Amino acid sequence: METRHRELLDSMREGGVAPHGDLRRLIADAAGDADIRERAAGLAREATLAVFGDAVFIRGLIECSNHCRNDCLYCGLRAGNSRLDRYRLDPEEILACCGAGYALGFRTFVLQGGEDGFFTDERLAAIVASIRAAHPDCAVTLSFGERSPEGYARLRRAGADRYLLRHETADAEHYARLHPEGMTLASRIGCLRDLKRLGFQTGAGFMVGSPFQSAATLASDVLLLHALQPEMAGIGPFLPHGDTPFGGCPPGDVDLTLFMLSLVRLVLPHALLPATTALGTAREDGRERGILSGANVVMPNLSPARARSRYALYDGKLHEGPEAAENLSALRDRLAAIGRRVVVDRGDYRGRSENR
Ligand code: SAH
Ligand code: SF4
Q: Tens digit of pLDDT for each residue in 27-41?
A: 999 999 999 999 999
Closest C-alpha residue for ligand 1 atom 18: 75
Distance CA 107, CA 58 (A): 8
Measured from the alpha carbon of residue 70, the closest ligand is 2
Low-confidence stretches of the chain (pLDDT beneath 70): 354-356
Q: Which atom of ligand 2 is nearest to the CA of 76?
A: 3
Beta carbons of 121 and 147 less than 8 angstroms apart: yes
Per-residue pLDDT at 355 = 54
Per-residue pLDDT at 325 = 80
CB under 8 Å to 19, separation ≥6 — which residues? Answer: none
In terms of pTM, does the model score above 0.85? yes
Per-residue pLDDT at 324 = 86
Distance CA 195, CA 199 (A): 7
Distance 68 CA to ligand 2 centre (A): 6
Q: Indicate the burial class of 137 (C-beta count within 10 angstroms; 0-12, 13-18, 19 or more).
A: exposed
Measured from the alpha carbon of residue 112, the closest ligand is 1
Distance 273 CA to ligand 1 centre (A): 16
Mutate to test the pocket of ligand 1, among 207, 257, 277 (most ligand atoms within 8 A of CB): 207
Per-residue pLDDT at 354 = 64
Measured from the alpha carbon of residue 64, the closest ligand is 1
Q: Is the dihedral of CA 191, 279, 12, 59 positive or negative?
A: positive
Per-residue pLDDT at 326 = 81
Pocket of ligand 2 (CB under 6 A): 68, 70, 72, 75, 77-78, 114-115, 145
Closest C-alpha residue for ligand 2 atom 2: 114
Closest C-alpha residue for ligand 1 atom 7: 145
Angle at which helix 149-157 crosses helix 185-197, to 10 degrees, equals 30
Distance 37 CA to ligand 1 centre (A): 25
Q: State pLDDT tens for residues 98-136.
A: 999 999 999 999 999 999 999 999 999 999 999 999 999
Beta carbons of 140 and 125 less than 8 angstroms apart: no
